[in-house]
Amino acid sequence: MLGIVRQKVGAKCINSSVKQSLPRTLDAARRFSSAAKQMTVRDALNSALDEEMSADPKVFLMGEEVGEYQGAYKITKGLLDKYGPERVRDTPITEAGFTGIGVGAAYYGLRPVVEFMTFNFSMQAIDHIINSAAKSNYMSAGQISVPIVFRGPNGAAAGVGAQHSQCYAAWYGSCPGLKVLAPYSAEDARGLLKAAIRDPDPVVFLENELLYGESFPISAEVLDSSFCLPIGKAKIELEGKDVTITAFSKMVGSALQAAEILSKEGISAEVINLRSIRPLDRDTINRSVRKTNRLVTVEEGYPQHGVGAEICASVIEESFGYLDAPVERIAGADVPMPYAANLERMAVPQVEDIVRAAKRACYRSVPKSATA
């Protein structure tokens, strides 16, 4: 225990010098963001596909309505006209069929990008994704690479019922051989999709339908055609000292809103955008928890065997001595998604849920006995 105290003291000495320069850094970031170009997540994905197809003739797209209809969500808009039907291939409604074709094409050195209209439909093709794409490199002793991307909207949208509202981050994140990415912002979408297409291994790319039309500030560096983000590296969206909040995809926005509310009550939250589900950036998470001594995980998926559960296990294994409060998990309700709008809202994590969890972790919530 004394060793941990020493580590804390040393860490605080280091952090004090960092904090002195932090206000200047934040001011510069605010000035930059106010002048930065805005880009929607939809346009970020479209531009990433366009540039990677232009740079590498082995990259091609396939899926339902990706060509003539220009994508169910217009992610592939304009690409059929530019690259032709050989590289932007409309498929029948048969996920098992076109996913198998994509994996076979990757075996032969092409770089397919397979679009699922929703990741719920990927269940029709899960044998190809897990047993063919994810395992072939290992089972061939490294002789076969499978450079393929499976992309599309994941998680809850609005009013689409139980069969179309599932989050597959934990499903695919549990499978060795896959890389699993979940972008939040336009920068995430552009940089991670480019990295996924260039990667020699199969990548599951989990987007969010409700984020497609959201605009984010984007820098000239991100707009450069050579830009890509490292797979397996999280981003600290907001620095703080009292509690760590981890989130991915749409929940990053909710975590940032919660952090703003908490700041007005004197709680400084550090928000981590995971970006990568597998590999998971355990180092960044544990460094943050060792600084804040508290953890709240946020995800839309089910709580049992979820991404948050894995993060909690990692922190317990590596940073247990630094925790000053029990870890808090915020997740979707452990039920099939209701169709009714009022029940759907109750089944999906809300900003107020995150705020309450952070307050509990900081021992700032009102005891239940006081409200009885």
Catalytic residue positions, numbered = 95, 164
Q: Report the C-alpha gap between 122 and 103 in whole angstroms.
A: 14
Element containing residue 38 per DSSP (H, E): strand 37-40
Element containing residue 263 per DSSP (H, E): helix 251-263
Q: Which residues does residue 150 pair with via DSSP β-bridges, in sequence order?
A: 114, 204
Q: Is the dihedral of CA 250, 253, 257, 262 positive or negative?
A: positive
Pair 205, 150: CB distance under 8 Å: yes
Pair 269, 298: CB distance under 8 Å: no
Pair 271, 237: CB distance under 8 Å: yes
Query: DSSP label at 179?
Result: E
**Tokens 């600084």, residue?**
291
Query: DSSP label at 70?
Result: -
Torsion angle, alpha carbons of 262, 249, 299, 157, to 10: 110
Q: Report the C-alpha gap between 143 and 121 in whole angstroms.
A: 30
Q: Report the C-alpha gap between 177 and 360 in whole angstroms.
A: 38
